[in-house]
């Protein structure tokens, strides 16, 4: 990997450790299966990288003030806060459900929101959309990094290197959440406690971004 791509890859690693990103991954991955957790983390990372690529390209040709760019952080924070409020609402209204059953000799646990159990892809599609939205908040940092390599010119290889760095962190964190799912979410009480903590953390992180 040439030096410029390595710099962008390293920035992707550091960028992914942002509390807003990890909070979003946790909110979407808690209580999910291994397949869904992997899908959620990958789609979030891809959406994030794609969003940064598009906005960085736009900013190369259009002069946008720092004040306008700051609204990217407002968008990210607002999304995180809304997610936190949603989780707390689900807990308060007892809309988080748990069901266990045996399948081919193995116990399977299903956790879902709402009164009825439905299999949908809303979590995975929402994670991609969330990655796109939160990418707006990372444009400023990425442009600063790009200013040090290739004269600030954005190409798809650089976005690929950035996204790879993000994916490594997100998938690793997703596996940590998966371990938590498999070992600590065996009762409805623990599930509600976990989502309560996740909701409160989301509010704290989002508020800190807005007013910190």
- Domain locations along the chain: 3-211
As a whole number of angstroms, the distance between CA 121 and CA 137 comes to: 26
Q: What is the pLDDT of residues 1-50, one digit of tens each?
A: 577 778 778 888 888 888 888 898 888 888 787 888 888 888 888 888 88
For the ranges 1-15, 97-111, 191-205, which has the lowest average pLDDT? 97-111
The model carries a pTM of: 0.78
């Amino acid at each position: 990997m040439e030096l410029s791509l390595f710099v962008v890859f390293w920035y992707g690693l550091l960028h992914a450790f942002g509390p807003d990103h990890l909070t979003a991954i946790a909110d979407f991955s808690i209580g999910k299966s291994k397949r869904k957790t992997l899908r959620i983390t990958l789609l979030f990372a891809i959406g994030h990288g794609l969003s940064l690529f598009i906005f960085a390209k736009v900013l190369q040709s259009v002069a946008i003030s720092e004040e306008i760019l700051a609204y990217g952080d407002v968008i990210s924070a607002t999304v995180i806060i809304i997610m936190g409020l949603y989780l707390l609402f689900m807990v308060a209204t007892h809309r988080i459900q748990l069901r266990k059953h045996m399948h081919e000799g193995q116990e399977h646990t299903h956790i879902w929101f709402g009164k009825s159990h439905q299999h949908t892809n809303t979590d995975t599609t929402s994670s991609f959309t969330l990655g796109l939205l939160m990418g707006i908040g990372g444009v400023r940092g990425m442009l600063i990094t790009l200013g040090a390599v290739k004269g600030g010119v954005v190409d798809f290889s650089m976005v690929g290197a950035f996204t790879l760095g993000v994916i490594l962190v997100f998938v690793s964190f997703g596996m940590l959440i998966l371990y938590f799912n498999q070992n600590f979410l065996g009762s409805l009480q623990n599930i509600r406690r976990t989502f309560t903590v996740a909701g409160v953390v989301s509010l704290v992180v989002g508020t800190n971004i807005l007013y910190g």
